[in-house]
């Protein structure tokens, strides 16, 4: 409505209601409120476009939040049991089992998590578990939970040094027996009769591998030397659809260059999709005194690759993995 129109409306108003209606229309035009509907339509369209994109980047952070909630629980548990700490050698058993139950429940509800071959993990004595590293190794968390709940054992783990620099993680790493990974410390853990889990691909494999599931171990053979020095069996492990649950943008040239040049693991991770996860444990590779580290490393890599070839359809597909989430019957690919 133009200024002359507004003036005509105001002058021609016969009663208070008509006058107020004219005033409202005049204010609406003056403030530009007539365009609000157009703005809201544009905003609604942008939300429709970007909300799914935001969600797939937010979900990985929820896993981090879950980890911090685990740490918070441990802090509370520690405070509550201060008086018992001096009298018990197993102060943290209850905390570990409680957290294992939470993670096991998360895996069952969100991913329909299954583990095949858990009987290959010894009830007593040492073994080295070697696994493929996903963008987020959430399958390994589920595996640890299964070992605690079904085997009654705590599997020690080797993690990248960056994990030890994250604020607040120290207690969580200590309670779950996570070590930085010097060979001497790994050998000591195994000789003391513990299980030990390690991913030779580590952060590099987490960031730079993709839905074709290449093993990025390079010439690493330290894990094999640990197994030889400890004279323990090596058990290969792989989780189906792991890269469909979470993916990394590390394959993009910029992020790959930043990692290769500066060892900065800054590639964004997205996902959190409720795809079907199945963890498979291969047959143990027994200690052979006639096999050197290079030969054992090659044999273990072939064993993990065999699990990938047998149980993972290449390339991985998120939609297919989502459908498998509701298809409970196991089917090898």
HSE at residue 264, side-chain half, CA atoms within 13 A, is: 9
Q: Per the residue annotation, which of 106, 116, 133, 156 is the catalytic one? A: 133
C-beta of residue 315 within 8 angstroms of C-beta of residue 211: yes
| Residue with token string 């640990």 | 226
The single-letter DSSP state of residue 115 is E
3-state secondary structure 238-307: EEECHHHHEEECCCCHHHHHHHHHHCCCCCCEEECCCCCCEEEECCCECCCCCCCHHHHHHHHHHHHHHH
**Integer Cα distance of 22 and 11 in angstroms:** 10
For residue 315, is the peptide bond before it cis, meaning its omega torsion is within 30 degrees of 0?
A: yes
**Distance (Å, rounded) from C-alpha 226 to C-alpha 139?**
24
Cβ–Cβ under 8 Å, residues 173 and 71? no
Residues in CB range of 131: below 8 A, 6 or more apart: 137, 139, 140, 143, 197, 198, 199, 236, 237, 238, 239, 304
Give the number of C-alpha atoms closer than 13 A to the C-alpha of residue 14, restricted to the C-beta side: 0
Q: Which of 200, 184, 204, 206 is nearest to 296 (CA)?
A: 200
Which residue carries 């544009």 as its tokens?
A: 42
133 among known catalytic residues: yes
SS3 236: strand
Residue 96 near residue 177, CB atoms below 8 Å: no
Catalytic residues: 133
């Amino acid at each position: 409505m133009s200024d002359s129109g507004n003036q005509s409306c105001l002058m021609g108003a016969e009663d208070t209601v008509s006058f107020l209606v004219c005033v409202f229309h005049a204010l609406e035009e003056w403030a530009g409120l007539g365009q609000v509907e157009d703005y809201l339509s544009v905003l609604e369209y942008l939300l429709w476009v970007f909300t799914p994109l935001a969600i797939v980047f937010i979900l990985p952070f929820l896993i981090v939040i879950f980890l911090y909630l685990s740490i918070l629980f441990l802090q509370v548990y520690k405070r509550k049991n201060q008086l018992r700490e001096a009298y018990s050698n197993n102060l943290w058993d209850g905390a570990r089992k409680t957290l294992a139950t939470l993670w096991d429940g998360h895996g069952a509800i969100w991913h329909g998590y299954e583990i095949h071959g858990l009987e290959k993990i010894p009830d007593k004595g040492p073994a080295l578990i070697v696994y493929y590293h996903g963008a987020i190794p959430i399958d390994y968390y589920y595996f640890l939970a299964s070992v605690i709940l079904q085997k009654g054992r705590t599997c020690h783990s080797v993690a990248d040094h960056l994990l030890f620099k994250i604020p607040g993680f120290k207690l969580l790493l200590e309670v779950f027996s996570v070590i930085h990974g010097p060979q001497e410390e790994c050998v000591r853990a195994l000789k003391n009769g513990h299980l030990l889990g390690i991913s030779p691909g580590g952060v590099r494999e987490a960031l730079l591998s993709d839905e074709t599931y290449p093993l990025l171990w390079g010439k690493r053979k330290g894990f094999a030397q640990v197994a030889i020095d400890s004279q323990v069996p090596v058990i290969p492990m792989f989780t189906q659809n792991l890269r469909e649950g979470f993916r990394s943008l590390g394959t993009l040239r910029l992020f790959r260059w930043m990692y290769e040049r500066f060892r900065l693991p800054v590639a964004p991770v997205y996902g959190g999709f409720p795809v079907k996860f199945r963890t498979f444990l291969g047959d143990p590779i027994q200690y052979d005194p006639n096999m050197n580290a290079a030969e054992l490393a090659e044999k273990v890599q072939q064993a993990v690759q065999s699990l990938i070839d047998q149980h993972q359809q290449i390339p991985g597909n998120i939609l297919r993995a989502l459908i498998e989430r509701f298809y409970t019957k196991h089917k090898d690919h």
